[in-house]
Amino acid sequence: MNIRGQVWSVLLNIQEVKSKNPRTYKVMKEKGKRSSEHIHQIDVDMSRTLRNHIFFRDRYGTKQRELFYILLAYSEYNPEVGYCRDLSHIAALFLLYLPEEDAFWALVQLLARERHSLQGFHSPNGGTVQGLQDHQEHVVPTSQPKTMWHLDKEGLCVQDSSLGWLLQTLNDGISLGLTLRLWDVYLLEGEQVLMLITSIAFKVQRSKSTCAQWGLGSPGVRR
């Protein structure tokens, strides 16, 4: 395992949780293959996830299959969350540096641990979502008025864009190198840096293209 994978494994305590649940991943994967209601959507999303990376370029290649199995297994392991497209981006990042089962447990830990609060993104009353929305509603208009001007011009709502926009932007909209560095910081520091990462994502996207161009192409930004 490379250095980044080793560090992520330590930060998320993967080896300990895996050793306490030696058969869980295999069982959840087989259960997902047999009965998951998310099979079709996961399959559709495979071709949309890190599509320019050599690991995920081949349809039904090794990494796409591993990603498919991880998401199936997770949908059975945590039915409260089930599956949404955002999870495919996260799991794919983990698969760049971790073996298949370790990547599954990394996803489990990321959503389960209070330190990272990622499951709040998937809860109707999630505090993480509300905090990001408040930040975007009150801070972005004053700190980045040009961004807000483009959003208003295109009829886009920044408050509605927090989760889908943030993850889609970090994984598709900016360089993979910067995405990985931001994920390193997030895994190390936890929820407290999400606001900062959101602002960075806004600034990077603004510098690359107009908000109209990236907004209309992002599933997390709605009219």
Q: Give the tens place of pLDDT for each residue, 32-48.
A: 999 889 999 999 988 88
Residue 49, helix vs strand vs coil: coil
DSSP E strands: which ranges in the chain? Answer: none
pLDDT of residue 205: 64
Q: What is the CA radius of gyration of the chain?
A: 17
**Alpha carbon distance 120, 73 (integer Å):** 20
pLDDT of residue 124: 44
- Taking only the tens place, the pLDDT of each residue in 78-120 is 998 888 877 888 899 999 999 999 999 999 998 888 777 665 5
**Alpha carbon distance 148, 124 (integer Å):** 26
- Taking only the tens place, the pLDDT of each residue in 139-166 is 455 555 555 554 455 444 444 344 445 6
Structural domains of the chain sorted by starting position, each given as residue range(s) with its CATH number in brackets: 3-113 (1.10.8.270), 120-216 (no CATH)
How far CA 186 is from CA of 8, 91, 110, 191, in Å, comes to 11, 15, 10, 7
**Alpha carbon distance 53, 47 (integer Å):** 11
Quick one: which H or E segment has residue 20?
Answer: helix 14-20
Check residue 21 and report its DSSP letter: S
Q: pLDDT confidence of 192, banded at 50, 70, 90?
A: confident
Q: What's the start-to-end Cα distance of the chain, in Å?
A: 43
Highest mean pLDDT among 87-96, 160-169, 173-182, 194-203: 87-96
**Alpha carbon distance 6, 20 (integer Å):** 19
